[in-house]
Amino acid sequence: SSLRVVYAFAREMHPKTTDVFIQYGTAGFRTKASLLEHVVYRMGLLAVIRSRVKNGRTIGMMITASHNLEPDNGVKLIDPEGEMLEESWEAIATRLANVSDNDLESTTAEVIKEVNADMGLKASVFIGMDTRYTSPRLAAAAVHGVMALKGTAKEFGIVTTPILHYCVRCRNDNTYGTPTEEGQFIMNHNHPYGEQMPDGPKSSRMETCYYEKIVGAFKNIRAKLPVHGSYNTTLYVDGANGVGGKKLNIIKKSLDGELDLVLYNLGGNGGKLNLNCGADFVKVSQKPPVGVEHAPFQRVASLDGDGDRIVYYYLDDKNQMNLLDGDKIATLLASYITELLKACEVTELKLGLVQTAYANGASTRYITDDLKVPVSCVKTGVKHLHHAALSYDIGVYFEANGHGTVVYSELAKRTIRKIAQEGEPEQRKAAQLLVNFIDITNETVGDAISDLFLVETVLCARGLSARAWMTAYTDLPCRQLKVTVQDRNVISTADAERTCTSPEGLQSKVDELVAGYKSGRAFVRPSGTEDVVRVYAEAETQEFADQLATEVAQAVY
Ligand code: 16G
Ligand code: ZN
């Protein structure tokens, strides 16, 4: 059949040239870019199958390796609601990625049968990529995979990961917005033998596109809340030489003094992607990034390479690093939402916070004792946090590394919108702010750009400088290390990765070491993205945290 010809042809173009086993991990497939072409092609096939299982709804494919260095790349699938691929499909993805070229056709047929996909349905896949030089080639492989199974591919070009998540969500739920960035170039690949996709949603439509929605809502709030106190409208940004900074450069033009963005590390001047810069570097090394000019106490927002993480920091007058990480952001947002809910006199909505084992112990104590907000701890990886956050009417989730967002239930949105229209004047005012706050939020996934505008909103509303924000609570000094072992999978964990269940004896050793330190806490977990074991420790002083981390690392080794 014609399908068979296209399929064989496309496969020839993206043959499997390596026998290295690859696994769909916490954030999809991620490895050296040179090992990925056949994987991405096959994920194109899988995206079509997934779309058909979801009744033709749109699936997303993002080509990125996030905060990893330039030689790496990766691919992950996005489900119709804009969420991460359903976990039960990860094994299918892994299987399809690893079969030989000879077995690819039969395995694909098996998968189609197993998941009961109706291959007569149309299928739609949105494809986006980060700024890596290997990304266009991989995006092309994705398109070929999609077309081989008669799906329709729409290429978004270079976008942040969260923008693609947002567009997928909008395509499947047009009440959320229009699935485009503003004025961007979109290429449609309608399969010659397949059903033509009805013209995609047009950017000329009245609904708000990504930038308009976020920036519009931000400006709305600014118009209601004047700048005051120690808040300063200048914000420095470390773009990690990736896509996030580039997008902020577009947004910058539509801001009229509400926020003065000073952008660094936009990828020019030989700046290398994520190299000694970006959110992950800043958080893990606790050092300022290269490529950014610093002024004492000037707040800086540091993004990661694909724009789904953000941390803030400032250097003080002694050039000391003061980090405002995901925990600080989560507590800032949660406390502001709580304040607005109180002003709305809403008591029926339950707000909760979700963290991982990496959350600083001081933040967890602050949330419980001072904010008096319920807090839960889940395994590392956005999908786990996102899922747990959905159990609250308003769920705030953040990893300490700066990945997070807020999710609002339909009930929460309905309740708040109603008060914004019908409440008493004071209630109405607070509810209207909340409505705008919700619109700034990208609820599909953590989004550095959306988070940046949320943080700036709260700081401005409260008249806070970064220094004042810092005083909410004092972080316990902490240290992260990685240990290379022969097989990281010999380590298994329970209790949201806070306890090692194997190898035998390791946890009691860790307990013993921790007991020797005041305010000590430590855990060991196998990485989901790299072939290493990670160690985290915190203690009363930096020296003790470093020492504890080293001792625990030795126990692993
Ligand atoms: C991925 C995850 C991130 C997690 C990190 C942990 C997503 C989108 N990203 O980057 O949330 O913190 O992996 O990496 O889920 P690790 O398992 O190597 O420590
Ligand atoms: Zn990222």
In which band, very low, low, confident or very high, does the pLDDT at 194 lie, cut at 50, 70 and 90?
very low
Concatenated DSSP letters for 76-145?
Answer: EEE-TTSPBPPGGGHHHHHHHHHS-HHHHHHHHHHHHHHTT--TTS--EEEEEE-S-TTHHHHHHHHHHH
Which atom, in ligand 1's list, is nearest to the CA of 66?
Answer: 10
531 pocket-lining for ligand 1 (C-beta < 6 Å): no
* pLDDT higher than threshold 90 for residue 293: yes
* Stretch among 99-103, 326-330, 469-473 having the lowest mean pLDDT: 99-103
* pLDDT higher than threshold 50 for residue 142: yes
Query: Which pLDDT belongs to residue 216?
Result: 93
List the shell of residues around ion ligand 2, using CB closer than 5 Å: 66, 304, 306, 308
* pLDDT higher than threshold 90 for residue 205: no
Closest CA to 354 of 332, 376, 374: 376
Query: Which pLDDT belongs to residue 197?
Result: 44
Query: Which pLDDT belongs to residue 233?
Result: 97
How far is ligand 2, taken at its centre, from the CA of residue 448, in Å? 9
Atom 3 of ligand 1, nearest CA residue: 381
Average pLDDT over the chain, rounded to an integer:
93
Atom 4 of ligand 1, nearest CA residue: 381
User: 328 near 312, Cβ under 8 Å?
Assistant: yes
Is residue 66 part of the annotated active site? The answer reads yes
Query: Which pLDDT belongs to residue 26?
Result: 83
486 versus 295: the higher-pLDDT residue is 295
* pLDDT higher than threshold 60 for residue 311: yes
527 pocket-lining for ligand 1 (C-beta < 6 Å): yes
**Under CATH, which number does the domain 326-447+455-470 receive?**
3.40.120.10
* pLDDT higher than threshold 50 for residue 195: no
Query: Which pLDDT belongs to residue 184?
Result: 47
Q: Is the peptide bond before 503 cis (omega within 30 degrees of 0)?
A: yes
In which band, very low, low, confident or very high, does the pLDDT at 208 lie, cut at 50, 70 and 90?
very low
Buried b vs exposed e over 354-372: b needs ≥16 C-beta within 10 Å? bbbbbbbbbbbebbeeebe
478-556 domain in CATH 3.20.20.80? no
* pLDDT higher than threshold 80 for residue 182: no
Which atom, in ligand 1's list, is nearest to the CA of 161?
Answer: 8
* pLDDT higher than threshold 60 for residue 238: yes
How many other CB atoms are there within 10 angstroms of residue 101's CB atom? 13
* pLDDT higher than threshold 80 for residue 524: yes
Residue 139 carries which side chain, given as an amino acid letter? A
User: 86 near 384, Cβ under 8 Å?
Assistant: no
Ligand 1 pocket, mutate which of 68, 382, 405, 480 (most atoms under 8 A from CB): 382
* Stretch among 10-19, 78-87, 201-210, 305-314 having the lowest mean pLDDT: 201-210
Average pLDDT over residues 271-287: 96
Query: Which pLDDT belongs to residue 6?
Result: 64
27 pocket-lining for ligand 1 (C-beta < 6 Å): yes
**Which one of 51, 66, 135, 450 is the catalytic residue?**
66
* Stretch among 159-173, 206-220, 441-455, 526-540 having the lowest mean pLDDT: 206-220
Ligand 1 pocket, mutate which of 283, 403, 405 (most atoms under 8 A from CB): 403
* pLDDT higher than threshold 70 for residue 50: yes
For residue range 486-518, list pLDDT tens digits in order: 888 899 999 999 999 999 999 999 999 999 999
Same CATH topology for 326-447+455-470 and 478-556? Answer: no
CA distances from 538 to 286, 356, 359, 523 (A): 14, 14, 10, 10
* pLDDT higher than threshold 70 for residue 196: no
In which band, very low, low, confident or very high, does the pLDDT at 200 lie, cut at 50, 70 and 90?
very low
Tell me how far apart the alpha carbons of residues 198 and 178 are, in angstroms, rounded to a whole number: 15
Query: Which pLDDT belongs to residue 203?
Result: 33
Query: Which pLDDT belongs to residue 181?
Result: 64
Which ligand sits closest to the CA of 279? 2
* pLDDT higher than threshold 70 for residue 192: no
Tell me how far apart the alpha carbons of residues 440 and 456 are, in angstroms, rounded to a whole number: 11
- Per domain, the residue ranges of the chain are 2-203, 213-322, 326-447+455-470, 478-556
For residue range 475-494, list pLDDT tens digits in order: 999 999 999 988 888 999 99
534 pocket-lining for ligand 1 (C-beta < 6 Å): yes
How far is ligand 1, taken at its centre, from the CA of residue 228, in Å? 37
Which ligand sits closest to the CA of 311? 2
Helix axes 210-224, 161-172, angle to 10 degrees: 100
528 pocket-lining for ligand 1 (C-beta < 6 Å): yes
Which ligand sits closest to the CA of 64? 2
Atom 1 of ligand 1, nearest CA residue: 27
Angle ∠(321,323,326) on CA atoms, nearest 5: 165
529 pocket-lining for ligand 1 (C-beta < 6 Å): yes
Average pLDDT over residues 71-85: 96
Query: Which pLDDT belongs to residue 1?
Result: 54
Atom 2 of ligand 1, nearest CA residue: 381
Query: Which pLDDT belongs to residue 185?
Result: 45
Atom 12 of ligand 1, nearest CA residue: 381
Ligand 1 pocket, mutate which of 26, 284, 384 (most atoms under 8 A from CB): 26
* pLDDT higher than threshold 80 for residue 227: yes
Average pLDDT over residues 443-451: 97
Tell me how far apart the alpha carbons of residues 435 and 420 are, in angstroms, rounded to a whole number: 8
* pLDDT higher than threshold 70 for residue 189: no
Query: Which pLDDT belongs to residue 187?
Result: 58
Average pLDDT over residues 437-456: 97
Query: Which pLDDT belongs to residue 132?
Result: 97
68 pocket-lining for ligand 1 (C-beta < 6 Å): no
Query: Which pLDDT belongs to residue 186?
Result: 53
For residue range 414-438, list pLDDT tens digits in order: 999 999 999 999 999 999 999 999 9
Q: How many residues does the chain have?
A: 557
**Under CATH, which number does the domain 2-203 receive?**
3.40.120.10
**Under CATH, which number does the domain 213-322 receive?**
3.40.120
